Structure 1
Amino acid sequence: MIKLMIKGFAYDVSGSPIVLLTDEEEEKVLPLWIGLLEAHSIALAVEGTEMPRPMTHDLIITICKMLKATISRVVINDLRDNTFYATIDLTTEIETIAMDARPSDAIALALRSSAPIYLKNNLADNMLSISELIDEETKKELDKFFNVSNLKKTLH
């Protein structure tokens, strides 16, 4: 499996948010189109921002803690009809359960629980090579733009 990290966010021409996940070497990127609310939740988690009242993903983490369960990892494991699928591995004292989830929700929960995010190897062809897409100077400029602070300005 390929371990992924949040690189930042982008928007498509219609204004839909895209979360950009890279491999550990930051050589390839997996763009995932997500909803605005999920983008906001992911951005808050990346920033470490705490809201005065728990948001849905915060509530789920609290429930897990109360039940002595932990999110051990998230796996983006399938692609069907141009839609990615994911599982959240929830570990208790007794067992680990793989629960079906939308990748955006799984990512938001992984960030809040410091769980790793993985992509199954058979989906690696969906990752784009950063070096083939842009030159080094453009990459540096994009690194400044595709970050959480730019998303924060538009979501708050």
Structure 2
Amino acid sequence: MIKRKNLLPIFFVILVVISFTAIAIVNLINFEDYVVADVLQISGSTVIIGNNCTAIISDTSPERAQAIDDGIRGIMQQRPGTYDIFSDILKSFNISLEYVTLDSFVNEIYYSNLYLKSGSKILKLDVRPSDAIALALRTNSTIYLNKTLLNEVGKKIC
């Protein structure tokens, strides 16, 4: 019997592929409102992501922090994880992860989006920031951080 947990990555990929047939072009971000961000440090389950001397310091689960750290180091565990599998599926279907945006912080929750491209179609997906970052690192995609978010929540680290 196949467990529901094992079907989640397959369901997600099917959803993405079907979405590309239904969605043409979505509004892209205004790049003037964003800065390119880097994951500056992982410490336990704390992720520090920022631009220059300002960063957002956020906690996530130990598993997600490890997935982000593996992405930074280019490490694949003994068996592929969900992010590795999803990255491989994107490549196999000629879908590129154009970029990731970290957009807002509302009611103690961070919000982000993936921008996927297949041919001339672009799909914007609402995702958890930790998932977006882990996938962006595996696909060498740019991570953009909203300037307003960085100014409101960011901390000076230099």
User: Which band: TM-score by shorter chain?
Assistant: 0.7 to 0.9
Unaligned runs of 5+ in 2: 1-33
Q: Contact 2:111–2:127 (CA<8 Å) still a contact in 1?
A: yes
What is the match of residue 143 of structure 1?
none
2:100, 2:132 within 8 Å by CA — same for their partners in 1? yes
Output the CA distance in 1 between the equivalents of 2:59 and 2:36: 19
Deviations 1:56-77 (A, max 9, x none): 0001111111111011100011
How high is the TM-score relative to the length of structure 1?
0.75
2:145 to 102, 119, 124: 119
Partner residue of 2:48?
20
Distance 2:81 2:43 in 1: 23
Do structure 1's residue 103 and structure 2's residue 126 form an aligned pair?
no
Q: Secondary structure at the match of 2:88?
A: helix
Q: Could you tell me how far 1:94 is from its partner in structure 2?
A: 2.6
Paired residue type of 1:20: I
Which 4+ runs in 1 deviate beyond 6 A?
A: none
Mind listing any 5+ residue stretches in structure 1 that lack a counterpart?
12-16, 132-156
User: Which of residues 83, 87, 112 in structure 2 aligns to 1:61?
Assistant: 87
* Letter paired with 2:91: K
State whether residues 50 and 145 of structure 2, in contact with CA within 8 Å, keep that contact through their aligned partners in structure 1: no
Opposite residue 108 of structure 1, the aligned amino acid is A
Q: Give the match for residue 43 of structure 1.
A: 69
The secondary structure found in structure 1 opposite 2:63 is: helix
Partner SS state of residue 104, structure 2 = strand
Q: Which residue of 1 aligns with 2:108?
A: 82
Q: How many percent of aligned residue pairs carry the same amino acid?
A: 24
Length-normalised TM-score, structure 2 = 0.74
Q: Counterpart of 2:50 in structure 1: which amino acid?
A: T
Post-superposition CA distance 1:18-67 (Å, at most 9, x none): 100120xx211111211111111111111111223210000111111111
Q: Separation in 2 of the partners of 1:110 and 1:74?
A: 7
Amino acid at match of 1:3: V
Q: Counterpart in 2 of 1:6? A: 39
Mapped partners of 1:102, 1:20: distance in 2: 15
| RMSD value, Cα | 1.2
Give the distance between the partners of 1:3 and 1:118, measured in 2 at CA.
5
